[in-house]
Structure 1
């Protein structure tokens, strides 16, 4: 989904920060964490987060990391960074199965107030498909303002060598999680690959840095898919203002849901291409996602059953919740769940599980769990191409394509093509299991077969408009 679903644990509290010599503090904290000295780790933490990030929780985080990305190897480098105006340190680290960025955010007293993990933004590996200059087509760096939220967006407009204002032009929409215009993950740059291929085949594209990444200004902590949809609407109107008349959307994962949201409101969008887009309601999709990833990770059926039972209950609670005291009500609901299911964990362990689930339920997640993508798909009469890989563990192909098909059938849309491509994962790489742990290991960035399929479909529908 914007790859948020393969991120691990987020505990963050924003305060005013004037970090000074904090690099060493961060390194000491991480070394103690990886050496399992959790009692020492807590001495580096600000008192405001000790209820959520205590010794037991730190142990759980490390267990989850080990399961998903292997053992810690080393810190490669670090850099001072700013996230939403707050100073922090990002450590580029090696684990046995992946590279991970670990971000620590600090208080004015040099105590840690934020601790979270994302796929590495730094990779020494250059993958074969990554486009290399000089390019035989024109490109332009662009900036424009989203008039609804007031944020600035930056991106790259790639045009074919012989372009006109009638040339097909697609806005590329990233999946979940903040990504740069290339939709970069583990060194792979799929949107750069797609844009390069399209330009060489007489198709233009605009790809954008997400809010707070690259040249785009930060958003708000409360941003949801609805906010991100206004960015794409602003991009459409920016291109329309430049004179382009044949504009479509290509959305990956959550970006596919956003493409449908925007196309349902903007009648001049010509067509959309959905790459591993959600069709199921958010809560159902996340349960399937958790199930498939746990299965390919070798977790026992009994453990999966117990894990999904709790998550299904909690996700359904969030989806149907209409109150205004979420944390308090969620704690009560989870406590009832443990009582009704005769959970044998200690009271303290139950409270830690509750804290962890509730802490991760930010506005974006609440919106996603409540989302129903078919609400917008049912409104689409324009041509739609929907593609999924058969090994996709994040947005499972069979269930989501079927939901998309039914919605477009309900819309009486007769210009629909849907393909499940054998052997491809969520990133449209040729894969073995589809596990997210494979993403970095695979040399292929984006299947050439899918690139050709997209090109042929675009050219076929271009004839409709010329």
Structure 2
């Protein structure tokens, strides 16, 4: 749920020559650097201009210095052509980190999508004595990675379900890869893991120009991941667990109910309240970190609250928030994870960092009250950890996400011990 610019890349029928798309991408960045946001949006497709008008574009771009410092240099653009679109990637070197600007263009070299993404180096290769191997798999047409412990098995397994946004298989956020840390950490302790690219990341064209909800974005693919593990050699089909992070934790009970093959749930930094209630809170927190909650900041939060009211009252079916349609937010607003979990007779492990500014004490209190009488529930609270499970000190912020770190080993060890202790309770494939 971290704030970021993540626009759906729109599918197009043909591609243009290499030079022209790169020039268009660089021209967009020239205008952003110069603060010419109205001029920048003139090169947008109509769909892009509606989703991200000049004021929203300015708000995102102008927020970058607080997160990564001043822009120092641009790198050499590179281009990838597919049947659907032309994508230009431009490295951006800031004072405190690097980002990639991913610019999608249509056949007329209009800007059809933009994604500012942390530039993260390739994942380190596995050591020869890692104790497990990784192999590519497909989850409902999405690229994924299965980490399988050495030996004959059968092994217990965990499906990792992402938080909000177009996440990759490692759930790369800033300079960190929480899912890579968890997947490899569990596999090294004898637990198979399956992680995959989220559909909004791998196939954004599936969502262009239409309404969609949580089933299409998250739930259906997670159910397919569980089903894939249930028929994978070396996996114990009665010991498959779902570990959902953030929004993924919020949806984990629904995934289990839909699947019928889940032995237990790990809820990691899972909201207990609707996402639309959390958005204004998160923005107020971030905007007040410097001690100056200005009139402009208050107006920004008021506009978010206005957009939320429009979505909830249904007065504008075409309304969008953070690039997603009203249908998506209304679907999310109907989710009650506490009530969904109460309908299940499954073991649950609840994990929460006290330095998490995205899922906070009201959510903790709701979960603790709901799980207090549940003999199958275990709760773990980590004073030093943030939303990504990374240790730190002082108030957490978005800038912290750009500092390289790793998910705390105690959290991973707690998950491993809990999963290993669970008997096989899932349904047979």
Unaligned runs of 5+ in 1: 147-151, 331-355
Q: Which residue of 2 aligns with 1:402?
A: 365
1:435 pairs with 2:397: yes
Q: Is the 1:389–1:426 contact (alpha carbons within 8 Å) kept by the matching residues of 2?
A: yes
Name the SS for the 2:356 alignment partner. coil
Q: Which residue of 2 aligns with 1:368?
A: 332
Q: Is the 1:292–1:393 contact (alpha carbons within 8 Å) kept by the matching residues of 2?
A: yes
Q: Is the 1:18–1:87 contact (alpha carbons within 8 Å) kept by the matching residues of 2?
A: yes
1:162 pairs with 2:161: no
The 1:326–1:385 alpha-carbon spacing in structure 2 relative to 1, beyond 3 Å, is same
Q: Which residue of 2 aligns with 1:220?
A: 207
1:383 corresponds, among 333, 347, 352, to 347
1:237 pairs with 2:227: yes
In the alignment, the residues of structure 2 paired with residue 51 and residue 137 of structure 1 have an alpha-carbon distance, to the nearest angstrom, of: 50
The 1:139–1:132 alpha-carbon spacing in structure 2 relative to 1, beyond 3 Å, is closer
Q: Which residue of 2 aligns with 1:200?
A: 188
Q: Is the 2:200–2:207 contact (alpha carbons within 8 Å) kept by the matching residues of 1?
A: no
1:236-315 matches, cutoff 5 A: 236-242=226-232, 244=236, 245-300=238-293, 304-315=297-308
In the alignment, the residues of structure 1 paired with residue 71 and residue 168 of structure 2 have an alpha-carbon distance, to the nearest angstrom, of: 26
| Superposition deviation, residue 317 in structure 1 | 3.5
1:133 corresponds, among 122, 127, 131, to 127
| Superposition deviation, residue 37 in structure 1 | 3.9
In the alignment, the residues of structure 1 paired with residue 53 and residue 245 of structure 2 have an alpha-carbon distance, to the nearest angstrom, of: 37
Name the SS for the 1:27 alignment partner. helix
In the alignment, the residues of structure 1 paired with residue 195 and residue 280 of structure 2 have an alpha-carbon distance, to the nearest angstrom, of: 30
Q: Which residue of 2 aligns with 1:99?
A: 98
CA-to-aligned-CA distance 1:49-83 (integer Å, 9 cap, x gap): 66776665654443333444433222224332468
Q: Which residue of 1 aligns with 2:108?
A: 109
In the alignment, the residues of structure 2 paired with residue 83 and residue 376 of structure 1 have an alpha-carbon distance, to the nearest angstrom, of: 41
1:316-331 matches, cutoff 5 A: 316-321=309-314, 325-327=316-318
CA-to-aligned-CA distance 1:354-393 (integer Å, 9 cap, x gap): xx85865454344334433234222232111111111112
Q: Is the 2:132–2:188 contact (alpha carbons within 8 Å) kept by the matching residues of 1?
A: no
The 1:199–1:79 alpha-carbon spacing in structure 2 relative to 1, beyond 3 Å, is same
Name the SS for the 1:188 alignment partner. coil
Q: Is the 1:138–1:158 contact (alpha carbons within 8 Å) kept by the matching residues of 2?
A: yes
1:420 corresponds, among 360, 376, 381, to 381
1:346-365 matches, cutoff 5 A: 361=325, 363-365=327-329
Q: Which residue of 2 aligns with 1:339?
A: none
Which deviates more, 194-203 or 43-52? 43-52
In the alignment, the residues of structure 2 paired with residue 286 and residue 43 of structure 1 have an alpha-carbon distance, to the nearest angstrom, of: 29
1:119 pairs with 2:121: no
Q: Is the 2:223–2:255 contact (alpha carbons within 8 Å) kept by the matching residues of 1?
A: yes
1:144-155 matches, cutoff 5 A: 144=138, 146=140, 152-155=141-144
Q: Is the 2:11–2:205 contact (alpha carbons within 8 Å) kept by the matching residues of 1?
A: no
Q: Which residue of 2 aligns with 1:449?
A: 410
The 1:196–1:64 alpha-carbon spacing in structure 2 relative to 1, beyond 3 Å, is closer
Query: TM-score, normalised on structure 2?
Result: 0.84
The 1:413–1:53 alpha-carbon spacing in structure 2 relative to 1, beyond 3 Å, is closer
Name the SS for the 2:158 alignment partner. strand
Q: Is the 2:12–2:84 contact (alpha carbons within 8 Å) kept by the matching residues of 1?
A: no
In the alignment, the residues of structure 2 paired with residue 125 and residue 237 of structure 1 have an alpha-carbon distance, to the nearest angstrom, of: 29
Q: Which residue of 2 aligns with 1:211?
A: 199
Query: TM-score, normalised on structure 1?
Result: 0.78
Q: Which residue of 2 aligns with 1:149?
A: none
CA-to-aligned-CA distance 1:255-300 (integer Å, 9 cap, x gap): 1123221113334311111111111112112222222222335441
Q: Is the 2:52–2:323 contact (alpha carbons within 8 Å) kept by the matching residues of 1?
A: no
| Superposition deviation, residue 246 in structure 1 | 1.0
In the alignment, the residues of structure 2 paired with residue 181 and residue 125 of structure 1 have an alpha-carbon distance, to the nearest angstrom, of: 13
| Superposition deviation, residue 428 in structure 1 | 0.8
In the alignment, the residues of structure 2 paired with residue 110 and residue 394 of structure 1 have an alpha-carbon distance, to the nearest angstrom, of: 37
